[in-house]
């Protein structure tokens, strides 16, 4: 019998094992309390599944559903069980995991009609049955060639075809109760680990809700988002129109050198949508145009292009930067870590900002302030502004949709736009590419090209960026009068060329390595699109890869 000392979440504990056989992580996990449901383990800066056997002394950190990586594992297994339940109930009908929505994941079951409440109850009961049976989820490590053969045998042709593009030869297949699938990430040892979930009928499909971050024993609150759902549906129609619903479609288009028409169609759709927005602003005589967007949504390019369309409509838009309305540094609120919170709405001098806006709308001349970032305070400015009735004011910033920002302005004067890159290109029916990942890759490329930041720095700062978005932007999405999807269906094939070498530079001892490795794993399925000559100089994508004629 041997002794094994393990540092678990900062505390050393000894285990006695026979014949150096080791100990399963899931056995250790059962002894540890956590705010969320434990799903994953971090050992020496590498993620390990709970059925991994520890045989040597090491430091262990358990990750649960309150952690991003831990949450992904729970969601992945929950999706797996949902797919299994639907396959049993609806005789192997197509099930698609679409995108995040309403505080959960939106999925569709293609049975030739809309799902109803009875269907949802049946799916939920079947999922509970699978969970209660605690079926083992078996991981099969194999080669790409063998995996392709297995999926062809199971008549899962699209999965087999996509695997042909995989750059690495190792493939992980997961088998559970005679159902087999390929998931692009870690899984749990068995179905019984899924303790908390709910399903809600919504639109044409169903929302899958995982455990709440504040109480692991209750599901997340269902929060309907009809406007966001509508724009996702519109984007799905665009994808079908262009013929790019999954990575496999895009790869074949690139291989066949048919990407030129795809690029031109995507850009034309963007242009048409911009024109429609400008027409609405003119028709409704809106004086204040508010634009809010999470990071790397292409807000700067969008604002410039919208101004062009407004000028086409015989309007003369002016832009005002919120940066010049910061309060002095000593009045800036602090975040939970004691640092200046420049993303707080209270970092803006709301009283002065609203007064100036109101005066401008009343035809008065206003002296626009200037904020000196080195001094950390407003300095004297000689910039004066007076507008006519045909001059809408364009305001862009993270607080654009927060009613507090323009509280003194009548709502009839405002037109609120929410902008985000809501990609509809998923790896396959069961593996989605989150919008957040697309934006992160955009930011990695842009930060390196134009700000001199490494991919490592961008990734390490991303969690802070995300916290700001969760607090200041996402709660107000449904306040928008219109939502614009800035994603380009072809763009990950373009961005791969720029992002891949930057991600590969990150060493395995870096805190950014796990995230970099995860991004590389899904980028490997894309065929690179090297020819960017068809991408116009005013494209939103040019803001990130270079060559833009409208963004400095």
Tokens of 514: 């796990």
Same domain assignment for residues 438 and 289: yes
With 0-12 / 13-18 / 19 or more C-beta atoms within 10 angstroms meaning exposed / middle / buried, residue 383 is exposed
DSSP 283-312: HTT-SEEEEE--TTS-HHHHHHHHHHHHHH
Taking only the tens place, the pLDDT of each residue in 242-283 is: 999 999 999 999 999 999 999 999 999 999 999 999 999 999
Same domain assignment for residues 427 and 513: yes
Residue 236 lies in a domain: no
Q: What is the pLDDT of residue 1?
A: 58
Residue 256 lies in a domain: yes
Same domain assignment for residues 23 and 59: yes
Model confidence at 496, pLDDT cuts 50, 70, 90, reads: very high
pLDDT at 14 over 90: no
- Average pLDDT over every residue of 395-419: 94
- Average pLDDT over every residue of 333-359: 91
Same domain assignment for residues 201 and 264: no
Residue 237 lies in a domain: no
Q: Partners of 198 in the beta sheet?
A: 209
Same domain assignment for residues 397 and 375: no
Same domain assignment for residues 222 and 328: no
Q: What percent of the chain is modeled with pLDDT above 70?
A: 100
Q: What is the pLDDT of residue 15?
A: 85
Q: What is the pLDDT of residue 121?
A: 98
Taking only the tens place, the pLDDT of each residue in 155-182 is: 999 999 999 999 989 999 999 998 999 9
Contact 199, 206 (CB under 8 A): yes
User: Which runs of E-coded beta strand occur in 49-163?
Assistant: 53-54, 58-64, 94-101, 104-110, 138-143
Tokens of 328: 């002095």
CATH number of the domain within which 497 lies = 3.40.50
Residue 422 lies in a domain: yes
The C-alpha atoms of residue 273 and residue 263 are separated, in whole angstroms, by 16
Tokens of 398: 């993270």
Q: What is the pLDDT of residue 322?
A: 87
CATH number of the domain within which 211 lies = 3.30.980.10
CATH number of the domain within which 19 lies = 3.10.20.30
Same domain assignment for residues 290 and 268: yes
Q: Which of 33, 64, 95 is the last residue of a domain?
A: 64
Domain hosting 18: range is 2-64
Taking only the tens place, the pLDDT of each residue in 82-95 is: 999 999 999 879 99
Same domain assignment for residues 125 and 272: no
**What is the domain count for the chain?**
4
Taking only the tens place, the pLDDT of each residue in 439-449 is: 999 999 999 99
Q: What is the pLDDT of residue 397?
A: 86
Model confidence at 423, pLDDT cuts 50, 70, 90, reads: confident
Residue 173 lies in a domain: yes
Same domain assignment for residues 430 and 459: yes
Residue 22 lies in a domain: yes
The C-alpha atoms of residue 479 and residue 401 are separated, in whole angstroms, by 6
Q: Which of 35, 64, 93 is the last residue of a domain?
A: 64
Same domain assignment for residues 60 and 76: no
Tokens of 294: 């999470």
Residue 238 lies in a domain: no
| Burial call 171-193: b when 16+ CB within 10 Å, e when fewer | bbbbebeebbbbbbbbbbbbbeb
Contacts of 249-255 with C-beta under 8 Å, sequence gap 24+, read 250/425, 250/489, 250/490, 250/493, 250/526, 250/527, 251/165, 251/493, 251/525, 251/526, 251/527, 254/493, 254/527, 254/528, 254/529, 255/527
Same domain assignment for residues 116 and 163: yes
Q: What is the pLDDT of residue 76?
A: 97
- Average pLDDT over every residue of 192-203: 97
Predicted structure pTM score: 0.94
Q: What is the pLDDT of residue 33?
A: 86
Same domain assignment for residues 206 and 78: yes
Q: What is the pLDDT of residue 415?
A: 97
Q: Which of 226, 255, 282 is the last residue of a domain?
A: 226
Tokens of 544: 């990130």
């Amino acid at each position: 019998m041997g002794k094994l000392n393990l540092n678990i979440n900062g505390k050393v504990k000894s285990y006695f094992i026979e014949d150096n056989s080791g100990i399963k992580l899931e056995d250790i996990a059962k002894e540890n309390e956590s705010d969320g449901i434990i799903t994953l383990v971090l050992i020496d800066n590498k993620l390990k599944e709970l059925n991994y056997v520890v045989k040597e002394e090491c430091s262990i950190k358990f990750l649960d559903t309150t952690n991003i990586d831990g949450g992904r594992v729970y969601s992945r297994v929950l999706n797996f069980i949902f797919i299994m339940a639907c396959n049993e109930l609806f005789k192997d009908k197509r099930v698609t995991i679409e995108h995040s929505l309403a505080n959960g994941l939106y999925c569709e079951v293609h049975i030739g009609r809309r799902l109803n409440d009875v269907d949802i109850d049946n799916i939920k009961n079947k999922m509970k049955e699978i969970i209660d049976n605690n079926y083992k989820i078996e991981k099969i490590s194999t080669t790409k060639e063998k995996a392709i053969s297995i999926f062809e045998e199971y008549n899962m042709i699209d999965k087999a075809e996509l695997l042909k593009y995989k750059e690495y030869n190792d493939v992980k297949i997961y088998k559970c109760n005679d159902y087999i699938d390929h998931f692009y990430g870690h899984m749990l040892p068995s179905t019984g680990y899924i303790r908390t979930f709910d399903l809600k009928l919504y639109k044409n499909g169903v929302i899958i809700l995982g455990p709440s971050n504040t109480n692991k024993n209750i599901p997340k609150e269902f929060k309907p988002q009809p406007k966001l759902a509508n724009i996702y549906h519109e984007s799905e129609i665009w994808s079908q129109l262009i013929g790019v619903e999954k990575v496999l479609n895009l790869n074949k288009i690139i291989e066949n050198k048919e990407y030129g028409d795809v690029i031109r169609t995507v850009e034309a759709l963007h242009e048409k949508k911009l024109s429609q927005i400008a027409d609405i602003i003119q028709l409704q005589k809106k004086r204040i145009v508010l634009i809010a967007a999470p990071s790397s949504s292409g807000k700067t390019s969008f604002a410039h292009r919208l101004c062009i369309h407004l000028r086409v409509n015989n309007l003369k838009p002016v832009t005002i930067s919120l940066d010049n309305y910061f309060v002095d540094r000593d009045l800036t609120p602090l975040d939970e870590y004691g640092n200046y919170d420049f993303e707080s709405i209270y970092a803006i001098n709301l009283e002065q900002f609203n007064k100036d806006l109101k005066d401008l709308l009343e035809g008065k001349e206003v002296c626009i302030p200037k904020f000196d970032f080195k001094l950390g305070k407003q300095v004297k400015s000689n910039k004066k502004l007076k507008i006519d009735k045909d001059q809408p004011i364009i305001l862009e910033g993270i607080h654009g949709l927060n009613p507090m920002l323009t509280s003194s302005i009548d709502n009839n004067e405002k037109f609120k736009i929410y902008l985000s890159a809501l990609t509809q290109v998923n790896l396959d029916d069961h593996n989605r590419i989150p919008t957040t990942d697309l934006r992160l890759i955009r930011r990695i490329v842009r930060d390196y090209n134009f700000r001199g930041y490494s991919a490592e720095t961008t990734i390490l700062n991303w969690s802070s960026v995300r916290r700001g978005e969760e607090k200041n932007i996402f709660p107000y999405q449904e306040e928008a009068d219109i939502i614009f999807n800035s994603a380009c269906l072809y763009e990950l094939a373009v961005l791969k060329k720029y992002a891949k070498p930057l991600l590969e530079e990150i060493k395995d001892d870096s805190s950014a390595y796990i995230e970099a490795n995860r991004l590389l794993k899904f980028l490997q399925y894309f065929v690179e699109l090297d020819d960017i000559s068809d991408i116009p100089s005013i494209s939103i994508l040019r803001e990130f890869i270079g060559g833009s004629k409208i963004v400095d």
